Amino acid sequence: MKAGQLVEIRSKAEILRTLDEKGRYEGLPFMPGMFNYCGQRFRVYKVAHKTCDSLRKPDGALDYVSREMHGTVFLENLRCDGAAHGGCDAACLIFWREAWLRPVEASEAVPPCNHFGAKPSTIGCTEEDVIAGTKGPSGRYTCQATELTAASLPLSRWNLRQYLKDYISGNTGLKRMFLSFAHLGYARLCTAGLKLGRPLRALYDFVQDLYGGVPYPHRKGAIPLGKATPSAKLNLQPGELVRVKSYEEILATMDVYNRNRGMYFVADQVPYCGRTFRVAKRMDRIIDERSGQMITLKTPAIALEGAICGSRYTDFCLFCPRATYPYWREIWLERIEN
């Protein structure tokens, strides 16, 4: 499949015949809310031939890695509403196995579930099994995000085949790929220990200013470790219009690890600085992808419409198509009243 292709989601009966007794196809859960889209047509947003995944280090910190997937796509604007998972607010894009889809150009005579080589399950699955599959022991939730490791394979950043797939699938254009590779090479030069970091970053910003581009996105916050980072309470609500503060203003609210009250600000958020967006939702509760436990955020985060992770600067999973919502602190935003 390719980005932009029009597909139809198969019927509930067809999809159930592809699932095992836990409601999964090749390790990837089919979630209850996905039944609502059966029989409808959507365009492929991107081919999910790879994705980012999180690993828990021995010290408790998270590390992110790239994982390879096969026969899976994202569809335009289809995100999980969290209804079957305790009201999780992460709003992740939904993974769709190609076995659950049918190209609209395909003949209706094609046998159900076999168009992409999917083998109907001999075990059988019911809708009740799919619903039961969202809960694990000790209150653990099970969703596509928690099962990514089981549904994918390790993928090295040095595997050049993935970048060819990024292009031929329609996920990423050549210009974007060239600019990201050039940026990564420049960023490595800035940190090569040659005492050229400061002048190289200044040169980067100078050139970007000429063309209205993005400033160097790997700077450190201004607040020393051990000192409290500031907060703000705007009580922003979905639909409200906000402006993202400048990169310099945001750096002034973070520690040297780019955290504000424990929440990271990442390089792929920098392109949105200074721009205006509508609030998509408040994020109060999310499922931890490693433990499956529901986490209540001490300070709610904000998701902005259209402000998604573009994986332009994330070298561990460059051009990842997952398009997650970055979390925004309210202190990084300004309400636009009129």
Per the prediction, the chain carries an average pLDDT of 91
d(CA 30, CA 238): 28
Q: Is the pLDDT of residue 122 over 70?
A: no
Q: pLDDT-based confidence at 276, cuts 50/70/90?
A: very high
Listed in sequence order, the DSSP H helices in the chain are 12-16, 127-132, 161-168, 174-190, 197-211, 247-251
Q: How far is CA 160 from CA 86, 148, 165, 184, in A?
A: 39, 22, 9, 15
Q: Supply the pTM of this predicted model.
A: 0.89
Q: How far is CA 33 from CA 29, 70, 85, in A?
A: 11, 22, 10
Q: Is the pLDDT of residue 233 over 70?
A: yes
Q: Is the pLDDT of residue 309 over 90?
A: yes
Q: pLDDT-based confidence at 120, cuts 50/70/90?
A: low
Q: Is the dihedral of CA 115, 121, 127, 132 positive or negative?
A: negative
Burial class of residue 8 (count of CB atoms within 10 Å of its CB; 0-12, 13-18, 19+): middle
Cα-flanking dihedrals φ and ψ of residue 163, to 5°? -75, -30
The SS3 of residue 16 is helix
Q: Is the pLDDT of residue 84 over 80?
A: yes
Q: Are 243 and 274 in contact (CB under 8 A)?
A: yes
Q: pLDDT-based confidence at 272, cuts 50/70/90?
A: very high
More confident residue, 217 or 117: 217
More confident residue, 150 or 193: 150
Q: What is the mean pLDDT of residues 145-170?
A: 94
Q: What is the mean pLDDT of residues 295-313?
A: 94
Residue 114: the pLDDT is 41
Q: Is the dihedral of CA 68, 69, 75, 79 positive or negative?
A: negative
Residue 139: the pLDDT is 80
Residue 337: the pLDDT is 85
Residue 115: the pLDDT is 39
Q: pLDDT-based confidence at 123, cuts 50/70/90?
A: low
Q: pLDDT-based confidence at 25, cuts 50/70/90?
A: very high
Q: What is the mean pLDDT of residues 258-267?
A: 94
> What are the chain's domains?
6-154 (no CATH), 172-215 (no CATH), 217-335 (2.30.30)
Residue 60: the pLDDT is 55
Residue 117: the pLDDT is 43
Q: Is the pLDDT of residue 112 over 50?
A: no
CA nearest 295: which of 141, 161, 176, 178?
Answer: 141
Q: Per-residue pLDDT tens for 31-75? A: 999 999 999 999 999 999 999 987 766 555 567 889 999 999 999
d(CA 166, CA 280): 28
Place of tokens 């095992």: 20
The SS3 of residue 194 is coil
Q: Is the pLDDT of residue 116 over 50?
A: no
CA nearest 26: which of 112, 136, 116, 88?
Answer: 116
Q: What percent of the chain is predicted at pLDDT more than 90?
A: 81
- What one-character-per-residue DSSP string does 42-107 give? EEEEEE-SEEEEEEE-TTS-EEEEEEE-SSEEEEEEEE---TTTTT----PEEEEEGGGEEETTS-
Q: pLDDT-based confidence at 137, cuts 50/70/90?
A: confident
* CA atoms within 13 Å, Cβ hemisphere of 125: 26
Q: pLDDT-based confidence at 79, cuts 50/70/90?
A: very high
